[in-house]
Amino acid sequence: MLRLRVICLFALPVLSTLLAGFLAAQQPSGASGRGGRPVIPQIDTTIGDRGQVVYAANCASCHGADARGTARGVDLVRAFGVRLDPTGAQLGAFLASGHKDHSVPPIALTETQVSEVAMYFRVRIDFANSGSNNVAADILVGNAKDGETYFNGDGKCRTCHSVTGDLKGIGTKYSATMVQNRIVLPRGRGPAGKGDPPEPARTVSIAQADGSTLSGTLVSISDFLVTYRDSSGVPHTVTRTGDVPKVTIRDPLQAHIDNMQRLTTKQMQDLTAYLVMK
């Protein structure tokens, strides 16, 4: 059973990666990371091809020629650890340390090779997401009944969703792969969200020195500026230094971010099997 043990390894950088991705989306393309934050580059198949060569020599024997896994290594196209690390920021150290728990001998790659391999994974994920490679049979291995139980019970999905309401018809709206992606990362939070609709807005509240609070929909945030739109759609920008003023962001997708770290592969597959029939 491929429980997502690696999640723990990646858990800490998850939020910063998501935040980096979010910030990257706020910046004009080509901008370099403000405040030193990495910007996720565009998919580049030339770099991906170079990554494939590195991958074939070092990884394919276990993870398969197409990165879809073998008995010796997990499917990396579907792996959360890969999806949450689009630039390979954590990958080099992971490989050099012998995977998790030193289960695989250390693999020393140069920084360039690591970023090329990360790009190769993005090309593969993009391909899987595009529907040109419909892996429905392969992805629908879960138990829909267990998925339903989890959805209505421990998964607490029903506190926000209904299969006769907002999720009605989701199985016809998306491919099976996409349904599974959305369970994990709704609306373009992942690196491979090509053509995704905009993510649901985050709200922000800013505690002013005089005790009043400004609030609205978050437009962008950096170390120095917060921009939000008020209820009539007018943008405002507030400067900040460190924690002053105190800025609190509320994310409608927080439950999904939390879930990423605790969903097991079985729960994810069961939920997918359940939802694709809706």
Chain positions contacting ligand HEC, by CB under 6 A? 4, 6, 58-59, 61-63, 72-74, 76, 79-82, 95, 99-100, 103-104, 107, 117, 151, 155-157, 159-161, 170, 182-183, 186-187, 200, 252-253, 255-256, 259, 271, 275
Q: State the minimum distance, in angstroms, from the CB of residue 212 to ligand HEC.
A: 28
Residue 7 near residue 264, CB atoms below 8 Å? no
Nearest approach in angstroms of CB 138 to ligand HEC is 16
To ligand HEC, the closest distance from the beta carbon of 58 in angstroms equals 4
CB of 141 to ligand HEC, least distance (A): 16
Q: Is 4 or 47 the residue whose CB approaches ligand HEC more closely?
A: 4
Nearer to ligand HEC, 34 or 199 (CB): 199
Measured at the alpha carbon of residue 69, what is the angle toward residues 63 and 73, in degrees to the nearest 5? 55
Q: Which residue is nearest to ligand HEC (CB)?
A: 81
Which amino acid is present at 108?
A: A
Taking the complex as a whole, how short is the minimal distance between the CB of residue 137 and ligand HEC, in angstroms?
20
How far, in Å, CA of 241 to CA of 231, rounded? 25
Of 245 and 252, CB closest to ligand HEC: 252
Between 70 and 237, name the residue whose CB sits nearer to ligand HEC: 70
Smallest separation (angstroms) from ligand HEC to the CB of 78: 8
Among residues 86, 79, 115, which one has the least CA distance to residue 17?
Answer: 86
What is the Cα 83 distance to its own chain's centre? 5
What length is written for the chain? 278
Tokens (6 digits) for 17: 């990666």
Task: Compute the least distance from the CB of residue 238 to ligand HEC, in Å.
Answer: 25
Which C-beta is closer to ligand HEC: that of 140 or that of 207?
140
Give Cα separations from 57 to 107, 109, 117 (angstroms).
Answer: 11, 11, 11
For ligand HEC, the closer CB: 156 or 246: 156
Whichever of 34 and 161 has its CB closer to ligand HEC, that residue is 161
